[in-house]
Structure 1
Amino acid sequence: MSNEPLSQLSTELGAAPPPSLARLTEDQLTYLAGALSKERESRAAGLGEAAEAALGLVPALARGPVRRILFK
């Protein structure tokens, strides 16, 4: 068994995966790492959308400067 899927999963988790995950096949580990990556991207996109929606509460003339301050 290659260590690449476990390494990829470690990268996605930001820590060593639990020992019980070593029982999964390479395909399962790759699938899990991919699912975690997609979820992280989805959350980041949702956060960006929420921030843009919040800017709608800022007066129009101040939106540009506020956007530059918040999203350097």
Structure 2
Amino acid sequence: MSTETRAARERLSAGLRDEPPSSFDQLTPDQLTTLADALERQRASRAAGLTEAAEEALKLVPALARGPVRRILFR
């Protein structure tokens, strides 16, 4: 396994938070990198969506309680 392939596989492993399946050994380093990039973009998009949803939900909390509720939820 080349160092480029190993680096791409390690990056993908970090994104998956686990070892990729052995079938991923058939992918080229460019394909592994593309997959890792797509995974990172998806995680960032999901995190942004959750943050936005939480902020919208805080609008339902009375104004005086928003600060304490925000601190409790977003430590």
Gaps of 5+ in 1: none
Show CA shifts across 1:4-36 (max 9, x none). Answer: 001111110011100111101100000000100
Show CA shifts across 1:22-58 (max 9, x none). Answer: 1011000000001001100110110000100000110
Gaps of 5+ in 2: none
- % of aligned pairs identical? 61
Which of the residues 29, 32, 49 maps onto 1:29?
Answer: 32
TM-score by length of 1: 0.95
**What do you get for the CA RMSD once the two structures are aligned?**
0.8
> Hey, what does 2:53 align to over in structure 1?
50
Q: Report the residue type matching 2:61 in the other structure.
A: V
> Hey, what does 1:14 align to over in structure 2?
17
> Hey, what does 1:67 align to over in structure 2?
70
Q: Report the residue type matching 1:26 in the other structure.
A: P
> Hey, what does 2:43 align to over in structure 1?
40
Aligned length: 72
Q: Report the residue type matching 2:63 in the other structure.
A: A
